[in-house]
Structure 1
């Protein structure tokens, strides 16, 4: 059993749902979250947003699933990210679950 975590900008919500469906992940949870980037190390002139603190409407998906489905989803997300013309990507991580009930 694996715990799958996916984060992205809110605009990718429908695409992530489709990727989960293609990877046969039958059940998952998600919620809206605020993404945050501290740009204080960047020069304000080179910062697109023109400030040091940036918040973004984001989304967090999580699911308990089998390893085989995780591997398939990683491949789908990698392909999706390569095809993106925007700077934003889907971020995915997986954690091992030692015990579950």
Structure 2
């Protein structure tokens, strides 16, 4: 089992839901998030969150699923980011689940 975590602008939730559907990921959870920064960056496009007084409505999406489904989901996120030119791409990462109860 793996944990797939995605952060993105809230407006991309339906796109991520479609990615999950294509990746055979049927169940996922969401939570609103607010990013904070203690320093300035040289390139704002490389940052996960906005800087200064600007705010963006962001969301974190996560799911526990099989290694196969996570691989498909990550591939689809990469394709989405390559075809959808945005200053705020979808960010995704995978974490192993060593134990669960």
| TM-score bin, normalised by smaller chain | 0.7 to 0.9
Contact 1:38-1:54 at 8 Å conserved across structures: no
1:26 aligned partner: 26
Question: How many residues of Structure 1 are paired with residues of Structure 2 in the alignment?
Answer: 93
2:48 aligned partner: none
Whether 1:73 and 2:73 are equivalent positions in the alignment is yes
TM-score by length of 2: 0.82
Q: CA distance change for structure 1 residues 57 and 15 in 2, over 3 Å: closer, same or farther?
A: same
1:46 aligned partner: none
1:47 aligned partner: none
Please give the root-mean-square deviation of Cα atoms over the aligned residues, in Å: 1.8
How far does residue 38 in structure 1 lie from its aligned partner after superposition?
5.5
After superposing on structure 2, the runs of 4+ consecutive aligned residues of structure 1 that deviate more than 2 Å are 35-42, 51-55
User: In 1, Cα distance between the equivalents of 2:4 and 2:33?
Assistant: 17
Q: Which has the higher strand share?
A: 1
User: In 2, Cα distance between the equivalents of 1:20 and 1:11?
Assistant: 16
How far does residue 88 in structure 1 lie from its aligned partner after superposition?
1.1
TM-score by length of 1: 0.82
Contact 1:35-1:57 at 8 Å conserved across structures: no
Range 30-39 or range 90-99, more displaced: 30-39
